[in-house]
Chain A
Amino acid sequence: MSNILSSILTTSFAASIIRIMVPILFAALAASITEKAGVVNIGLEGTMSLCALIAVTCAWKSGSTFVGVLGAIVLGILLSLMIGFFAFKFKTDIILCGIAVNTLGEGGAVLLLYLLTGSKGDTQTVMGAWSLPRVTIPVLSKIPVIGEIFFTNQSVLTYVAFLCVILVWILLYKTPLGIRIRAVGENDHAADSVGVGVYKIKYTSLILCGILCGMAGAYMSMSYMTMFSKGMIAGRGFIALAAQAMGRGEPVGVMLSSLLFGFAQALANYVKGTNLPARLVEALPYVVTILGITIYAISTYKRTRKIRAKQEKKAQKKAA
């Protein structure tokens, strides 16, 4: 046990948590924005998968990883808009739209991979390895421990992800668009009655979601790995949904819950090399997810009950 503890309390382990949590953080932030607008987008998993493939492909065609990220963002937006189009225009249940995009991400990505490379496994042999630049921030990296974990040799997108936490918070709470997004999510009829274009806001939230998902995908194929391979997203889109639920859709809360999942996953990765039951430990992030959203749901449940009890008491007093 002390053996495990000593190897967990290292900076390299902490850095691996950061590496694992970044795609989850991106996707969970994406889910937070749509959730605040009252749009349930469960297609994150598939969007990430297709974006990861497109990122590498665009990088390969253009020779620039920046174009790769851009391509992934454009595709992310398109896929999110597709969900919106079918859900709002054709009135398909939005959960089914999400499942459709996930199926597309699983089968469609393999199909596209095959059309592009002639292989159904990964892009490595045809497209080579692509990695976004890794950056060490000059002054900050000199801070002991923290500098080594956060500011040394991390992918550009890692910094973007943490920047996005702040940006999303500003967007939601300090801009007119943020107020509209929250109003639509809270009560779209009320928002409609004061002249907010409900569908325009919902589409906007989906576009923002697509941008973040695109970056999540690009991170997966050009930082987490240096290629696209079949099944590489491995449930991260779903975990992100849970992170969103656990963080109550608040950017900082979402960041903390992503950190928790990153920790559970990193622990599972580490334990694989020991004699502990590896598969059970691998289930840990998912168990933590269920526990997390349950604890959150219980706290909400108790709070609403308390408020209701108070109101009833007041009403009784008035009646007396």
Chain B
Amino acid sequence: MKSKSLRLFGYVRGAAALLVAFLVALVLIFLSTDEPLVALRYMLLGPAASWSKICRVLAYMIPITFTGLGTCIMFSANQFNLAGEGCISAGGFAGALVAIYCPMPTVLHQIVCILAGALIGGLIMLIPGFLKTKWGVSEMVVSLMLNYIILDVTMQFLTQNFADRSQGATMTFPYKSTAIIPKIFQGEQVSYGIFIAVAMAVLCWFFLYRTRWGYAIRMVGINKEFSQYSGIKVGAIIILCQVVGGILAGMGGVVTQLGYFSQYRWTALTGYGWDGITLAILAANNPIFIPVAAFFVAYLQYGCELMNTWTTVPVEMMDLISVVIFLFFAADQFLSGFRQKLVVRETQKELAEKAAQQARKGGEAHV
């Protein structure tokens, strides 16, 4: 009974956090434009205005679903590894090279590309995982540095070895047609990659909540010392969860590249890694909720882009919404007074019921 009302409280608190986010956005919209209502309409209704716009939202869901899943698994073990940002670029680049230079029959080609991206992502994440396990190096600092290193290394290879010099901008040669992940609808931006993303969400949920390894990952996250004591190999689990996170981000990079672009052209960090963290917070580290959270964030992001295009409100509004989500959504004590009251009222009611029951019993006994 108590747990039910507490779960309800969790939802109320989440809704309150989102409300705060919208209020902040509202204030800023009023500050930065003369026609706030038009801006609001673009932000909230714009992405649903046409079928092709909805498809764009779905397309934008793909990369962030992957980074979100990776972040979920790493955060579940309390590993604050922030290199999803870099791994999605590195994986995407590796997959792109396979897509350009290794001719193969279709289907097999996509699979090999995705595996190549996953491999690179996993290998990169071995570094922070191994350093953390072996000598206790902070995975956070290492992963932040890795993001910049990955960007520099991929750019070095891209500009020196693999660039298509006939193009004006920095990009590779086009992908072989056998490697392209086809679009679901002719002329719309969303590819079949969305199904891969959702399938991975289910798979990750199964991994985290229905397998021995997933259980170990969550145990390490809850209490490392106790896990050690109860015989879980904590070091191996810390490496495992980060490698899985890297694999997911790497896959995401490839699926995005082959489904959305026709050649590799990421010349800066993408920001998908940070979106992944927003998603993990919104989904409370449960992979099954990641696609929903991804839709929410993708919708808002596109809404902000539309608002940016048609009014004077900058697209960076989305960052402020993320900030409020970061601060309030994961806040344990946000609205704690309200929770306290709820628990007290609930308990009083129970006590009163018990007293009434006892009184009745007592009355019967007297008769």
**Chain A interface residues (CB < 8 Å from chain B):** 42, 86, 89-93, 95-97, 99-101, 103-104, 106-108, 110-111, 114-115, 120, 235, 238-239, 241-242, 245, 277-280, 282-283, 286-287, 289-290, 293-294, 297-298, 300-301
Which of B284-340 touch A at CB < 8 Å? 314, 316-320, 322-323, 326-328, 330-334
Q: Would you give the 0/1 interface string for B157-194, flagging 1 where the beta carbon is closer than 8 Å to chain A?
A: 00110000000000000000000000000000000000
B135 contacts A by Cβ under 8 Å: yes
From A89, A92, A290, B330 is in contact (CB under 8 Å) with: A92
CB <8 Å contact, B145 and A103: no
Q: A95-B140, A242-B141, A286-B145 are in contact. Are A279 and B152 (CB under 8 A)?
A: yes
Contacts A90-B328, A96-B326, A289-B141 supplied; 9 other A-B pairs, CB < 8 Å: A90-B327, A90-B334, A107-B316, A107-B317, A108-B319, A120-B314, A238-B145, A279-B155, A290-B145
Contact yes or no, B145 A242, CB < 8 A:
yes
State how many angstroms separate the Cβ of B271 from the closest Cβ of chain A: 9
Write the nearest CB–CB distance from A240 to chain B, whole angstroms: 10
Q: What residues of B have a CB within 8 angstroms of the CB of A242 in the complex?
A: 141, 145
Chain A positions within 8 Å of B31 at CB level: 115
CA distance A120 to B308 in the complex (A): 12
Q: Given A120-B314, A242-B141, are A104 and B330 also a contact pair (CB < 8 Å)? A: no
Q: Which residue of B lies closest to A281 (CB)?
A: B152
Q: Once bound together, how far apart are the Cα atoms of A206 and B262, in whole Å?
A: 48
Q: Is A279's CB under 8 angstroms from B153's CB?
A: yes
Are A293 and B138 neighbours in the complex by a CB distance under 8 Å? Answer: yes
Q: How far is the CB of B36 from chain A (nearest CB, A)?
A: 14
CB distance B314 to A280 under 8 Å? no
Could you tell me the distance in whole angstroms from the C-beta of B302 to the nearest C-beta in chain A? Answer: 16
User: In the complex the two chains form, is A111's CB within 8 Å of B320's CB?
Assistant: yes
Report the bound CA distance from A196 to B136 in whole Å: 30
Neighbouring B residues of A42 by C-beta, 8 Å: 140
A110 with B316: CB separation less than 8 A: yes
A293 with B148, Cβ < 8 A, contacts A86-B331, A110-B314 known: no
Contacts of A300 in B (CB 8 A): 135-136
B314 near A238 with CB under 8 A, answer no
A85 to B78, CA, bound (A): 22
A155–B235 CA distance with the chains assembled, in angstroms = 47
* Chain B residue nearest to A291 in the complex (CB): B145
Contact B136 A289 (CB under 8 A): no
Cα–Cα, bound, A156→B287 (Å): 52
Please give the distance in Å from B279's CB to the nearest CB on chain A: 13
How many B residues face the partner with a CB closer than 8 A? 44
> How far is A289 from B143 in the complex, measured between Cα atoms in Å?
11
Cβ-based interface call for B144 (8 A): yes
Given A279-B159, A283-B149, residue A92 in contact with residue B323 (CB < 8 A): no
Q: Provide the bound-state CA to CA distance between A114 and B29, in Å.
A: 12
Q: CB-CB < 8 A to A278: which residues of B?
A: 156
Chain B residues with CB under 8 A of A297 = 131, 135-137
With beta carbons under 8 angstroms apart, the residue of B148, B317, B319, B328 that contacts A106 is B319
B148:A283 contact, CB within 8 angstroms: yes
User: In the docked arrangement, what's the CA distance between A92 and B148, Å?
Assistant: 27
The chain A residue sitting closest to B152, CB to CB, is A283
Query: Which residues of chain B are near A282, meaning CB under 8 Å?
Result: 152
- Contact assessment for B141 and A241 in the assembled complex, using a CB-CB cutoff below 8 Å: yes
B156 near A280 with CB under 8 A, answer yes
**Min C-beta distance of B234 to chain A, whole Å:** 16
Who on chain B is nearest to A289 by CB? B145
Cα separation A234 to B159 with both chains bound (whole Å)? 21
Question: Can you list, as one digit per residue, whether each of B19-30 has a CB less than 8 Å from chain A (1) or not (0)?
Answer: 000000000100
Find out whether the CB atom of B327 lies under 8 angstroms from the CB atom of A97.
yes
B125-148, CB < 8 A from A: 127, 131, 135-138, 140-142, 144-146, 148
List of B residues within 8 angstroms of A101 by Cβ: 323
Distance, CA A107 to CA B332, complexed state (A): 25
A59 → chain B closest CB, angstroms: 23
Within the assembled complex, what's the spacing in Å between the Cα atoms of A103 and B274?
A: 9
Most buried by B among A104, A110, A301: A104
Residue contact B156 to A91, C-beta cutoff 8 Å: no
**Known contacts being A95-B80, A106-B319, A111-B317, is A100 close to B326, with CB within 8 Å?**
yes
A286-B149, A289-B141 known; A89 vs B320 contact (CB < 8 Å): no
B201 at the interface (CB under 8 A from A): no
Instruction: Note all chain A residues with C-beta closer than 8 A to B316.
Output: 106-108, 110-111, 114
In the complex, A300→B156 CA distance in Å?
A: 35
Q: In the complex, what residue of chain A is closest to B148 when comparing beta carbons?
A: A286
Supposing A245-B138, A301-B135 touch, asked if A99 and B145 sit within 8 A by C-beta, the answer is no
B5 partner residues in chain A, CB cutoff 8 A: none
16 contacts between A and B (CB under 8 A): A92-B332, A96-B277, A96-B327, A97-B326, A99-B82, A100-B323, A103-B322, A111-B32, A111-B314, A120-B314, A242-B145, A245-B138, A277-B156, A277-B160, A293-B142, A297-B137
Contacts of A120 in B (CB 8 A): 314
Contact of B281 with A by CB under 8 A? yes
- Check A287 against B149 for contact (C-beta < 8 Å): yes
* Given contact pairs A107-B318, A107-B320, A294-B135, A91 touches B141 in the complex (Cβ within 8 A): no
Q: Which residues of the other chain, B, contact A92 by a CB distance below 8 angstroms?
A: 326-328, 330-332, 334
Chain A residues with CB under 8 Å of B326's CB are 92, 96-97, 99-100, 103
Most chain B CB within 10 A, of A89, A289, A290, is at: A290
